[in-house]
Amino acid sequence: MLSVRNLTKAYRSAGEEIAVLRGVNLSVASGERVALTGESGSGKSTLLHLIAGLDRADRGEIRIADTSISDLGDSGLAALRRDRLGLVFQQFNLIPSLNVRDNLAFQSRIAGCHDAAWQSELAERLGLGGLLHRYPEQLSGGQQQRVAIGRALAVRPLLLLADEPTGNLDEATADDVLALTRDLVARTGCSLLMVTHSLRLAGTLDRHINLTAGLIA
Ligand code: ADP
Ligand code: MG
């Protein structure tokens, strides 16, 4: 489903080149749920950004299903993100002027695949059924992140990319959100690549990989 081959990425800042990814190889099977750990600054976010097509690699290949993303231009990448990927970040990135129902529907409407029954099921499973008319500012952090996860899964993506999705939540809330995400990903049938600091949570997914010195062992 996801295949990353010999991926390299360096940043240039103040005339200095910093090699972040030095030939990363990674495969995620259809339906597989993978935890990605690594020290702060090891390049986890960089890797997820490259997979999402938000930035370009220096060398190497990323394939999502049958598409090599280096073959896509900016509009192709935007379409890939919209139609086939779910993205969840530490910041919840909800739209403040939309209520929970419309935030949940945001990506699926743009992608032209809104499915009211699936959205209702997601809302119920995420414990959002009674909150559909609230606005983001009226929600707790955990509730906001559950909306962000529901919005991402509403399009039935091939792959959910989550970058420390519970980094802003307290431990008990983080555990709840993580368990829900893991189970909903299984229900959706998509693959999951999730950055987390928690080795305990990493241990509850199908596989755990670590990024060290620009490589996945
Ligand atoms: P992680 O998510 O594992 O904490 P990042 O991928 O955010 O790591 O960053 C990896 C390294 O790349 C860090 O040293 C960071 O300072 C550097 N870096 C990240 N983004 C940029 C950028 N846009 N310009 C320059 N350096 C960057
Ligand atoms: Mg990061």
Angstrom distance (rounded) from CA 21 to CA 189 = 29
Q: Which residues of the chain have pLDDT under 70?
A: none
pLDDT at 19: 95
pLDDT at 157: 97
H/E element, 160 = strand 159-163
pLDDT at 163: 95
| Cβ burial, residue 73 (10 Å; 0-12/13-18/19+) | exposed
| 3-state per-residue secondary structure call for 56-72 | CCCEEEEEECCEEHHHC
**Domain map of the chain by residue range?**
2-216
pLDDT at 200: 85
Work out the widest C-alpha separation in the chain, in whole angstroms.
53
pLDDT at 166: 86
pLDDT at 2: 98
Ligand 1 test: best mutation among 12, 20, 24, most atoms within 8 Å of CB?
A: 20
pLDDT at 123: 97
Which tokens sit at 190? 């998509």
pLDDT digits (tens, 9 = 90+) for 154-183: 999 999 999 998 888 888 888 888 889 999
Q: What is the pTM of this model?
A: 0.95
pLDDT at 129: 96
Ligand 1 test: best mutation among 7, 16, 18, most atoms within 8 Å of CB?
A: 18
Which residue's CA is minimally distant from atom 23 of ligand 1?
11
pLDDT at 201: 84
18 alpha carbon to ligand 1 midpoint, in Å? 9
What does DSSP assign to residue 170?
A: -
Angstrom distance (rounded) from CA 35 to CA 58 = 24
Is the beta carbon of 49 within 6 A of some atom in ligand 1? no
pLDDT digits (tens, 9 = 90+) for 64-96: 998 999 899 999 999 999 999 999 998 989 999
pLDDT at 168: 84
Level-2 CATH architecture, domain 2-216: 3-Layer(aba) Sandwich (3.40)
Which residue's CA is minimally distant from atom 6 of ligand 1?
43
128 alpha carbon to ligand 1 midpoint, in Å? 34
